[in-house]
Structure 1
Amino acid sequence: MSNVTKPDEPTRGLSRRPVEITTALLLIGLGLLVLYDSYGRGAGWDNGPQNGFFPARVGWIFLAASLFILVQSFRTENRVFVSYEQLGQVARVFAPLVLFVALIQPLGLYVAAGIFILVFMSIVATSRWWAVVLTAILVPLACFWVFELQFRVPLPKGPLEALLGY
């Protein structure tokens, strides 16, 4: 069975309107949070701007733009925003990225990067297994050499680096 959509077959996926409404509501919530925090800090002018003066102005603009997006979402044609096949492709990239971020704290950046490269290249790339393993080892080692040894930029380390004395 082919994944290619036939011209007469409607594309299945997420509709544009619910995606835009959800996005607008999230942005409205973020704008309200900015305003709440800004006014909590003081958003007035007392012999000069208070701490929340400029963030409050930006928050109002952000809130107005978010409300505009919400109104526009009801006025636009409700067609497919993203197909389920496209969402699958995004998930193939997003899942290893989430794994990478989750592993940085317990394993350190370099080990997590090696695991990320290994998983990502195994899922997405069509490389030979030895090239995947070699890349997953050499790229974090090169990054360690550049950042830790040459530039002396301390990045999150885990038990392996501690075992090696770093």
Structure 2
Amino acid sequence: MQDESLRVEPLATTHDRSGFASGSEPLDRYLRIQAGQDARKRVAAPFVLLFPDNQIAGYYTLSATALHLPELPVAVNRKLPRYPLIPATLLGRLAIDQRHQGKGYGRFLLADALYRAVRSEIASFAVVVDAKDDIARRFYERESFLAFPDQPMRLFRPMADIARLFG
């Protein structure tokens, strides 16, 4: 993907969400109906990938979450302080319009989300995702996300690893 005219920005009321169709009704409905409310209530931060004509090619959301130390792999959790909860960033949703799937936009949005997460001054041990299916799980695994031991569809990538990407 080499299109320099694309941009990612926070979802705004001026963005036309009505034509977005990723092929997943829950993801499409979220963008059309819930994303704006979540942004206003500050429970999620939706970001949209826009073409020069302001057509939405994709979107993702970021929010705060926390992990219970025992959820993490033993090799990871033994290096962390013994707090009951460890702060993390949740990449809650990521979707690409069907007309633009297979062109690298998902990877582009993931990179943007990771960059925003690592740039934040708020402490976060990792970025966490909940893969909706095996295709999504494999996508995140290719991007160096690790599965939680007892939850194979829940994955994480340590912030220290992400920081090295953008170092």
Q: TM-score range by the shorter chain?
A: under 0.3
More strand by share: 2
TM-score (norm 2): 0.18
Which is richer in helix?
1
* Structure of larger gyration radius: 1
Q: TM-score, normalised by structure 1?
A: 0.19
